[in-house]
Amino acid sequence: MPTVKKMDENAGLRDRCICARCPSYDDCTRKGKELLYCIEGKSSCKLERYGCVCGVCPVEKMKGFTGGYFCIGGKASR
């Protein structure tokens, strides 16, 4: 169960996630308002790899994550 502090922090990070501008982000993820896969885990949609913009995302930099396609592969590991 995430703490309230953690949920607040994630809400702030969701605003900075740039997944919605990614070519792999589709109608299904848009409908589900999915974001922040690197922290919240993979998508419930069946996605194709059309590119990933995680490499230029401020959240990835801030958290020290590397890699991408977290929507398919799940949470980032450090």
How far is residue 35 from each of residues 45, 58, 65, 67, measured CA to CA in Å?
12, 14, 16, 16
DSSP H or E stretch at residue 28: helix 27-31
In the bound state with ligand SF4, the residue whose beta carbon lies nearer, of 4 and 10, is 10
How far apart are CB 10 and ligand SF4 at their closest, in Å? 10
The footprint of ligand SF4 on this chain (CB under 6 A) covers a number of residues equal to 21
Q: In terms of Cα–Cα distance, which of 66, 77, 70 is closest to 22?
A: 70
Site for ligand SF4 in 20-49 (CB under 6 A): 22, 24-25, 35-38
Contact status, residue 76 vs residue 63, Cβ threshold 8 Å: yes
CB of 7 to ligand SF4, least distance (A): 16
Summarize as ranges the residues that interact with ligand SF4 (CB under 6 A).
Answer: 17-19, 22, 24-25, 35-38, 52-54, 57, 59-60, 65, 68-71
